[in-house]
Amino acid sequence: MNTFTLSIVAVTALIVAYIIGFPLIPALRRLKFGQTILDIGPKWHEKKQGTPTMGGFMFIIGITAAFAVGLFMLWQRELVRFDAVGGMKFFNAVSGFIMAACFGFMGFLDDWIKVAKKRNEGLSVNQKLLMQALIVSAYFTSRVIAGDASTVIHFPLLGSLDLWYFYYVVMGLGIIYIVNAVNLTDGVDGLCGSVTVVFCAAFMVICGMLGYHELSVLAAAAAGGCIGFLIWNFNPAKVFMGDTGSLFLGGLVCALGVGAKCEVVMILAAAVYIWEALTVLIQTTYFKISGGKRLFKMTPIHHSFEMKGWKENKIVFVFSFLAAIAGLTGVLLVYYDTL
């Protein structure tokens, strides 16, 4: 994969996302689309009350524009093909992006309800799960109709396992878990965006090694778009991505992993997201079983580190470093698996 193409795509997404911040943030302020901070959160987060949300539109627009540019550049270099194999790779990238956009739209509805009600509660849990299940079902259905009915999961260096129809159940639940895990990671200025940059950088390399050029371009666009957004989102944040952005990114993470048929590597590279959500499940379960006791000071786990006195920038650095280790491990696994 030509690094020049990936660089152009990433820089395009970065510039577009950053520039959109200039008109979007004041517009969100005028519309009073501010974040409502929960009383159960860290007390020092109260100063963030009213910070504009739905800033995810910045990188969604940037990623969309850069992805289109990247596909055009691939087409010019004749790397986009519409034969049986090439056509499926192209469809995987486009359908994955559409899935992410659907999750983003669901997040927008959630944000809109929060703004309208002026409280940090949007769609109900059941409404979210139902919509997510429908989005995932539509994604897999479209792939089967397009001709990709593979139900095989590959374990790098070990071999493959055909799950038959259970594949759709296992991966459907996996996608929903990861999408919500990415959403939970968005709780500290710059955290979700930074971890996603690292994940996408890893999958940009992985998809390139495996010949999924369209997905590699999508990963480069996502990394660049997140960096452009982070300029506005690093502590102290001038804007939050909202569920509009975090659910979109969650869908994009899954689109890259599932689209490149690297489900196992995706789980490894997404370790930080998964860890965040797992601490919430553990805390909730233990709280119920123990009659009100807690294992962690607060979940998701990044709040526990806040309660211990860690600054937000330190949390972002450490979590991003852990994500980099996980991502690099995934890259090395794929590399040695393809030798």
pLDDT at 1: 58
At what angle are helices 166-185 and 242-259 packed, to 10 degrees? Answer: 140
Contacts 24+ apart (CB under 8 A), 114-122: 114/36, 114/53, 115/32, 115/33, 115/34, 115/53, 118/36, 119/36, 120/35, 120/36, 120/37, 120/38, 122/243
pLDDT at 264: 98
Token digits of residue 83? 């034969």
Evaluate if residue 40 carries a pLDDT over 70: no
pLDDT at 335: 97
Report residue 229's pLDDT band, with 50, 70 and 90 as the boundaries: very high
To 5 degrees, how large is the angle CA 191–CA 284–CA 323? 25
Mean pLDDT, residues 249-275: 98
Report residue 208's pLDDT band, with 50, 70 and 90 as the boundaries: very high
- pTM across the whole model: 0.95
Number of H helices, E strands in the chain: 12, 2
Report residue 300's pLDDT band, with 50, 70 and 90 as the boundaries: very high
Contact predicate 54/108, CB 8 Å: yes
Contact predicate 180/29, CB 8 Å: no
Alpha-carbon distance of 53 to 187, in angstroms, equals 12
Letter for the amino acid at 120? N
Report residue 218's pLDDT band, with 50, 70 and 90 as the boundaries: very high
Token digits of residue 21? 């911040």
Mean pLDDT, residues 306-334: 97
Contact predicate 175/138, CB 8 Å: no
For 27, 38, 273, the CA distances from 267, given in Å and listed in that order, are 37, 30, 9
Q: What is the DSSP letter of 45?
A: G
Alpha-carbon distance of 8 to 306, in angstroms, equals 37
For residue 162, give the H/E element and its range: strand 159-162
